Amino acid sequence: MPPRSWFSISKRNASASRQVGNITMTITITAFERSPDGGKGVARDTRVRWALEEVGQPYEVRLVSFLAMKEPAHRALHPFGQIPTYEEGDLALFETGAIAFHIAERHAGLLPDDANARARAITWMFAALNTVEPPILELATARLLERDTTCLWSRIVSATGWANFPVAWAIPTGSMARSVRAT
């Protein structure tokens, strides 16, 4: 996990720009205005912030409301009306994996120099986004929304496909705990 100290900063540096030739470029990312953390980096923008922090790249954060995310101006940056977006000069990107990959391609330190090692690292980046994360999000959603229901365990098994799922992650609570103990 990235250092917690920068999560509370909405503007990374007073000077969040870098010089590219004769042009000064400012990186701006978007975050939720009304998230539980107040748009400080505990949503999808975390990956982008983390990558920028790792390479020492300054950036600014533009907080957007849920309503603003559906407006044409934001949809021009992110066609699905989500966060984060990444803007640098005339370049606008969306999707955290694409943004992190772009940062890694432009700055040393996130990807290995060796071609085979680089390919393996990129493979794991895609695996994290497409294979590892979905069942984890499904589990988190199930635990949050179905904690006291008897269908939690079946949701976990069907979402993950993990036969040896760590049981401690799904220890029943509330009414489910009472019904499990009764059987």
The pLDDT score that the predictor gives to residue 144 is 75
Pairing of strands 60-64, 23-32: parallel
Contact call for residues 64 and 113 (beta carbons, < 8 A)? no
The pLDDT score that the predictor gives to residue 2 is 41
pLDDT digit string, tens, across residues 65-74: 999 999 999 9
pLDDT digit string, tens, across residues 139-179: 777 777 776 666 666 666 666 665 555 554 444 444 444 44
The domain segmentation of the chain, as residue ranges, is: 4-106, 115-182
**Residues paired with residue 92 on neighbouring β-strands, in sequence order:** 87
Q: What is the phi/psi pair of residue 43, to 5°? A: -110, -155
CATH 1.10.357.10 for domain 4-106, yes or no, is no
Indicate the pLDDT class of residue 80, thresholds 50, 70 and 90: very high
Q: What is the DSSP string of 34-96?
A: TSTTSSSSSSTHHHHHHHHHHTT---EEEEE-HHHHTSHHHHTT-TTS-S-EEEETTEEEESH
3-class DSSP state of 114: coil
Pairing of strands 60-64, 85-88: unpaired
